[in-house]
Each structure stands twice: as C-alpha cells, then as structure tokens.
Amino acid sequence: MAHHPLTVLVVGATGGIGRLVVAEAIARGHTVRALVRDRAKGARLLPADTGLVVGDVTRPETLPAAVAGADAVVLTLGSSGTGASSPETVDYAGVRDVLTAAASPTDGARPRVVLMTSIGATARGSGYGHLLEWKRRSERLVRASGLPYTIVRPGWFDLNGPGEHRVVFLQGDRRRSGGPADGRVARADIAQVLVAALTAPEAAGRTFELVSAPGTMPSALGPRFAALDQDPPGSLDGVRDEANMPLDGEPRRVRDDLEAVRARA
C-alpha cells in the first residue's frame, strides 16, 4: 500500500503498459483515474474501481477536466500510425497538451509527472529515428514545465527471460542498436517502476533507461532512484545525454511550444 495515497491520472490507460499501471497503482492504494476515449472499452479493460474520464490527447479541450484534482499524472502514450495517431500528434503533442492542462489547474495544484518514453530516445538517424525524436521532444517539454517529474526509458517489452526481473537503471542513453540488444524488460516491471516513482522523493528530476537482469524485483526502489544523478536544473536533456539535437535546429513550432511551456512554468 502507498504511504501517501494519491489521485493518479493515467494517460494511455488502455494500452499494454497503461493497464498494468492502473492495476499497480490501485494495488498500492492510490485512487486511479483513467483517460479513455471510449468509456465502454475502458470499463471492459480496466478494474472496476478505476475512475473513467472520457477525453483524448488529440482534443486539448477535454484535458483540463481530466487533470483537475490529480496529484500525479502517468503518461504511457504510444502512437500507432500517421495522421491522428502519428508520433508528433500523440507522443509529443499529447504530452504537450496534458502539461498545458496540468500547469493551469482550476484548484491551484501542480501534479507530479511520470513520463514513459523509450530506450534510445536520443538516437539520431536510426530506423526508429522519427518516433524517437518526437519522444525526446516530449521529454524536453516535461523538463521545461517546472512540474516535478521522472522520465523512464524502458527497453524492449517482455523479451526478458523468465528469471530476469531485477531492474537496472542506466543513464546517458548509449544503447542504440535499435533492437532487443539494447535491453529488455517486462511490462509488469515497467509498471511497478512507474508507480513507485510517484511517491519516491528520490525519483524526482531524474531521467533513466530501464532494463532487466537475472534476479528478482527489489523490494524497495528508493535506493535505486537515489543512486541516479539528477538532470541539471534548466537543462532540456537528461543528465549525460549526448548533445546531438541542438535547439536552434529544431522546427519553429517545437521551439514555440518550449517557449510557451517555460512561460507557464
């Protein structure tokens, strides 16, 4: 059970990771609110005691009501194509619009943000480069928001061996093969780390890659978070990330979004 139960909004709640985050947060004693586009689908896929809020990250006007009163937001967004579900529209603009709603709450509260992106997010020119660049831009928005945050970059989902559940935190994002050799981790273990970060003060302001090794999940993750370096104050990138995506080379709309997020912070 959580020492300090929170009201947690899960964005991407009906996805493969999101469903596990919802279940893990409820198991830890949090009150969970799930952002869903289809209430019937949400009721079918999520535990009965999940609060359902109908909204869509591609429709910013639906987000303030979802965020209102939330102590924390977990973002597990994943795009699935082009157009309305493109990496820019979902992985990036969806995060931007949730942050906009969270930075201007009607009740004055400013929620903690836990964002899931991907190992290799700082790679350039890879086969997944287009997706990864938008995920990295979403990370930059979170760091610029002024909200307390943790950014988690998991390895490849569910390709770990049956005895590989000892989570390993890395920093610097130097594993860039674009395949499982970069690291593997179980979806359920990712969910445990994301939810643990909500209440661990040691996780604040940290960005890390998440992979697994032989062994079991530690009983307490606080010491693992504490061993990480914090992101430098005011930096757009994670600690030890390669400086290979200069801001002056970014699209004008991306720079405008960063300026707007910083102004609200």
Contact 112, 231 (CB under 8 A): no
Q: What local confidence, expressed as pLDDT, does residue 112 receive?
A: 96
Complete DSSP assignment for 7-41: EEEEETTTSHHHHHHHHHHHHTT-EEEEEES-HHH
Whole-number Cα distances in Å, 241 to 119, 128, 140, 198 = 12, 18, 12, 23
Q: What local confidence, expressed as pLDDT, does residue 47 receive?
A: 96
Q: What local confidence, expressed as pLDDT, does residue 100 receive?
A: 94
Q: What local confidence, expressed as pLDDT, does residue 110 receive?
A: 85
Q: What is residue 244's DSSP assignment?
A: -
Q: What local confidence, expressed as pLDDT, does residue 262 receive?
A: 94
Cα–Cα distance measured from residue 263 to residue 88, given in angstroms and rounded to the nearest whole number: 22
Per-residue pLDDT of the chain (265 residues; tens, 9 = 90+): 556 899 999 999 999 999 999 999 999 999 999 999 999 999 999 999 999 999 999 999 999 999 999 999 999 998 877 767 899 999 999 999 999 999 875 556 789 999 999 999 999 876 565 889 999 999 999 999 999 999 999 999 999 999 999 999 999 999 998 899 999 999 999 999 999 999 999 999 999 999 999 999 999 999 999 999 999 999 999 999 999 999 999 999 999 999 999 998 8
β-pair partners for 156: 184
Fold category of 7-264 in CATH: Rossmann fold (3.40.50)
Angle of the 93-103 helix axis to the 129-144 helix axis, nearest 10: 10
